[in-house]
Structure 1
Amino acid sequence: MNPQDILRYVDSLHRDRNIDPELLFQAIESALQSAAKRQYGEESDVVVSISRENGQISATLEGKPLGDDQIGRIGAQTAKQVIIQKVREAERDALMIEYRDQIGEIVSGMIGRADGGVATVNLGNVEAILPRSEQIPGESLHANERVRAIVYEVRPQGGNRVRVVLSRTRPQFVQRLFEQEIPELNDEVIAIKSISREPGYRSKVAVSSDDVNIDPISVCVGYRGSRIKAVREELAGEHIDVVRYDSDPEVLIPNALQPAEVDQVLLCDMIGRAIVLVKEDQLSLAIGRRGQNVRLASKLCGWDIEIMTGSELEEQIERAVTGFSQIPGITEEIAQTLVEQGYLSYDDLSVIEPDQFAEMAGLTEEQVDEIVEMAEAKAEEAERAAADERRVRRETEKLDRERAEMEAHMPASEKTPPVEEQTEATATEEAETENAATETAEESVAAGETADEPSAESAVENSEDAPNADSTAETPTAAESTEEAASPEETSSEEPATVGESASASESEKDSGGNA
């Protein structure tokens, strides 16, 4: 091999592919040494070296130098293949080093393909991938569009290739966008202390400043929100809350829960829990939609935040004291101490540190172990009960859905009418029944006046049949006959209504039934 060719080859690869020349020289030396061993035996002691100044090759076999003709007889083709392989490995290693140094940094590239949910991004010297799981929910990427993302993972793949994975969902992406839009962050005038994020929905950023004359929130938002607007546009309209950082959790937690107003923060240091008390009208705002606000605030502050009202806290404390007191070995005083430290459930008690519990309650390690085992058993029992309740609720909801689907496919005549329609139909039927009863009563009264009135002949006969009886006294007059023929309701009522009054009432009820 010509020494000048070796030097030109090394210099060209160094300039074009950014490969360290020393790596190339070592790769060529290794290739020539491997080829020589194949010719002289794998166990032979062959050493090959190349001069970095003039590219001259020198070799020794068992300590004896080899001449140029012997070196020339080394399989040139084999050496060339090994050199190419080493160059590819060196190129891969160079890319690995380059992009591993950029992990967490923002890069920009052109989208090549965006089908099947996975997008490929051309970064110049490597083709990276942007998986669907690392894309912002709801956004759509198209070919030949420029996209920004952070380098999330770098690993070798399939021989000499490098796999670079990008991400647009990590909290670091929000931080890098802030740094690009807000020069004060690079100048260290303000600083980002913490970020919590749910991609595509909401992010919370805690910022601070060492200069009391600088408001970090106003600096991040910008004039009329120009800076924060640019970040939101890159994040597909994601909502961003910029809050003021404070080293005191009692100040940071209310800031993180904005826009909700907090009344009091109770810190439970032993279990890392913060109980936040709010008013009833602030409860839903503090929790957020599907718990999003409190969840992001917990990640931002590093505390397990529980939102409740004062009455809910009192009920939970009372329930916890009662429940703990039922465990053998725990007195009411110990239960009160546990509640004061923030332990409000059997789950909390099952993960308590035994040495801390023993010191706090004045118990032995054996007693503590028994109490913890009992708490774990009760926690499992409560979890099973909750699971059964959820299962019953799901079955009930399933039956309701099936019933609704069945009724949706039923003919209209067979469907069960709504409650209002049933009530209206019932009222109409009752009105019609009362009207019919009234008409029957009127007909009965009229029939009584005609049928029950005795004739003159029957009155004479009755007077003849009754000995020593006054026929005039025994014979009822027409008015008396009418009174006797009155309906049972009229005779039994203390204030009987006349026929005319009864008809008026029935017509009124009929009208009211029709309007029901």
Structure 2
Amino acid sequence: MATGVTANRAELIAIANSVASEKMIDKGIVIEAMEDAIQRAARTRYGQEMDIRAKLDPNNGDLRLWRVVEVVEEVDDLYKQVDVAGAQKLQKGAVVGDYLVDPLPPIEFGRIQAQAAKQTIFQKVRDAERERQYEEFKDRAGEIITGVVKRVEFGHIVVDLGRAEGVIRRDAQIPREVVRVNDRIRSLILKVVRENRGPQIFLSRAHPDFMKKLFAQEVPEIYDGIIEIKAAARDPGSRAKIGVISHDSSIDPVGACVGMKGSRVQAVVQEMQGEKIDIIPWSPDIATFVVNALQPANVSRVLIDEEEERIEVVVPDDMLSLAIGRRGQNVRLASQLTAKAIDIMTETDSSEKRQQEFVTRTETFQNELDVDETLAQLLVAEGFTELEEVAYVELDELAAIEGFDEDLAQELQSRAAEAIERREQANREARQALGVEDAVAELPHLTEEMLVTLGKAGLKTLDDIADLATDELIEKKRAEPRRRNEDAPKRPEHKGGVLGSYGLTEEQGNEIIMAARAHWFADDEQPVADVAEEASEA
């Protein structure tokens, strides 16, 4: 490249064409790099303070070199300014404020200048190449690409993608997969990140979308949109589950994905190093989908807790280990597939749990309503679980229970209301004993029981509440599955918000916190409601 700067005109253009073609970048970028290198060399020759410009004709190689000077009344900078008298030598009629071109003679490049020019051109070309790589791959996230393993560094696989390099990090690889240099490898483009040293193209073979894209390549119905993969979950290198649905009633989605004698699914299995794949019919009914997702285990009953976003699944006693799977794999994949937390219980456990709940609720009604065991059991059997349900249910619904009449229903509701008031009074006294301010008790949506919980957590003033983020206040705790293999890796404990067990919505949590912050803006001219609304939007 050093000879390129001192070469004749034809050679300069030939070099520019060659570099542009080899690096697959615009020829204009190479010409611009050459011009920049010539300008740097000229400043070294004539002075760094000068505003020197160079122009290389991309067609014939003609080179023009000049400096730009400003016409001023009194010269302060000899390198960039000229007075009116001196300006007349460069251009007749020049006036103050004009910028003039002062042609410079061509320069001879020595060894140092040639080396500097070479580095400048190389840097410009490298920058342009990196930008071209980024522009080429930035919109290709989610595609499958084939490359050649270039090297393995610290467990990460560097893949030659032809015009760029990608990396498969250790956590994005299929465990125990043996990869050698020069092996051809397929992977998913996970994301493309612009960095100073060039675009970082992150690839993955462990992501569920990699499996989805492989099925799209092997199953024409998926590629055409007739069959859709609604959900996917993977334990890379071991087992996977996909939920599929057909938009054409005449086509079986599971059969189409399996293929003749399993040919289609086997092609995907081989690419994923023998990973076993369960193909499951997807259903909009979450209970049905959970039953399908837990295959091959049989499910007796599914109980859905919509508030907690948890699903309790009851299986026969002899199916427990099969439903959970080795190290909890089957239930874990089913949970990922359905995006719900799943608890597995046996028939025996479920029966014991229901019996215990029946006894506990019966005792609660006996003690709080001051009724005999038979009447309390009757209420529980009819589906009543809390005092609030008894107190606020329609009177006709309560009186319609066999053996009840309107007078008994009214008496039960009266006693339930009194019990609730006694409980509120006890919580109020407990809250005051904890030192929770009355101003906190006036915040919306908070009950005395919630205030006691806040007090126990050390949140006793408006400022204490105002300093919280919404999720710190109301986010629900994600409980661990009740059945867990001791060898399975344990997830980090998620404690949730202080009031996470009370079922408050995000909107209610925002209202509580903004009401607590209202006193911060009490002296402002802007209404508090407006400030709260702006903060909520932010």
TM-score tier (shorter): 0.5 to 0.7
Written as runs of structure 1 = structure 2, the 5 A alignment for 1:352-501 is: 364-371=446-453
Amino acid at match of 1:139: E
Distance 2:152 2:114 in 1: 45
Q: Is the 8 A contact 2:315 2:347 kept in 1?
A: yes
1:275 to 307, 312, 329: 312
Output one character per residue of 1:167-216: Cα deviation in whole Å (capped at 9) or x when no partner. Answer: 32221221222122122222222222221000111111112221111111
Return the TM-score normalized by structure 2. Answer: 0.55
Aligned to 1:246: 283
CA contact (8 A) 1:110 1:145 kept: yes
Whole-angstrom distance in 1 between the partners of 2:46 and 2:308: 70
The equivalent position to 1:151 in structure 2, one of 156, 166, 189, is 189
Give the whole-Å Cα distance in 2 for the aligned partners of 1:144 and 1:263: 52
Worse-matched range after superposition: 366-375 or 232-241: 366-375
Q: Which whole-Å CA distance do the structure 1 matches of 2:185 and 2:58 have between them?
A: 43
Q: CA deviation at 1:298?
A: 1.1
Q: For structure 1, list consecutive stretches of 5 or more residues without a partner in the other structure.
A: 338-361, 377-382, 391-516
- Of residues 333, 342, 346, the one that matches 2:386 is 333
| Aligned-residue CA RMSD (Å) | 4.1
- Quote the residue 1:69 is aligned against: 105
Matched, 1:78 2:116: yes
1:249 and 1:70, CA in 2 relative to 1: closer, same or farther beyond 3 A?
A: same
In structure 2, the CA distance between the partners of 1:47 and 1:318, relative to structure 1 (3 Å rule), is farther
Query: Does 2:103 correspond to 1:97?
Result: no
1:262 aligns with 2:320: no
Asked whether the equivalents of residues 88 and 160 of structure 1 are also in contact (C-alpha less than 8 Å), the reply is: no
Letter in 1 for 2:452: E
Change (3 A) 1:303 1:57: farther
**Does residue 246 of structure 2 align to residue 193 of structure 1?**
no
Is 65-74 or 177-186 further displaced after alignment?
65-74
Contact kept, 8 Å, 2:67 with 2:104, in 1: the verdict is: no
The equivalent position to 1:208 in structure 2, one of 245, 249, 265, is: 245
Q: Which amino acid aligns with 1:211?
A: D
Q: What TM-score, normalized to structure 1?
A: 0.58
AA aligned to 1:96 is Y
Distance 2:63 2:354 in 1: 84
| 8 Å Cα contact 1:46/1:60 also seen in 2 | yes
Cα distance, 1:27–1:315 mapped onto 2, change above 3 Å: farther
Query: Which structure has the highest helix share of the two?
Result: 1
Where does 1:202-241 land on structure 2 (aligned, <5 Å)? 202-241=239-278
Q: CA deviation at 1:161?
A: 5.9
Deviation of 1:86 (Å): 0.8
Compared CA separation, residues 41 and 238, structure 1 to 2 (3 A): same
The size of the alignment, in residue pairs, is: 352
Q: Which residue of 1 aligns with 2:30?
A: 24
Contact (CA 8 Å) 1:204, 1:241: kept in 2 or not?
Answer: yes
Rg comparison, structure with higher value = 1
Aligned residue for 1:214, secondary structure, equals coil
CA-CA distance at 1:3 after TM superposition: 5.3
Distance 1:115 1:30 in 2: 37
* Partner Cα distance (1:370, 1:137) in 2: 49
Structure 2: which 5+ residue stretches go unaligned?
A: 70-98, 370-384, 391-443, 459-478, 487-538
1:294 to 2:331 alignment:
yes
Deviation string 1:473-502 (CA, Å, 9 cap, x unpaired) is xxxxxxxxxxxxxxxxxxxxxxxxxxxxxx
- Once the two structures are superposed, residues 209-249 of structure 1 have per-residue CA deviations (whole angstroms, 9 ceiling, x without a partner) of 21111111111100010110111111121100111122332
Whether the aligned pair in 2 keeps the contact of 1:106 and 1:148 (CA below 8 Å) is yes
Match of 1:69, SS state, is coil
**Partner amino acid for 1:333?**
E
Q: Residues of 1 paired with 2:67 and 2:355: CA distance?
A: 88
| CA distance in structure 2 between the aligned counterparts of 1:50 and 1:319, rounded to whole angstroms | 89
CA distance in 2, matches of 1:89, 1:173: 31
Alpha-carbon spacing, 1:11–1:363, altered in 2? closer, same or farther (3 Å)? closer
Q: Cα offset for 1:146?
A: 2.7
Deviates more, 1:214-223 or 1:240-249: 240-249
Which secondary structure state, in structure 1, belongs to the residue aligned with residue 105 of structure 2? helix
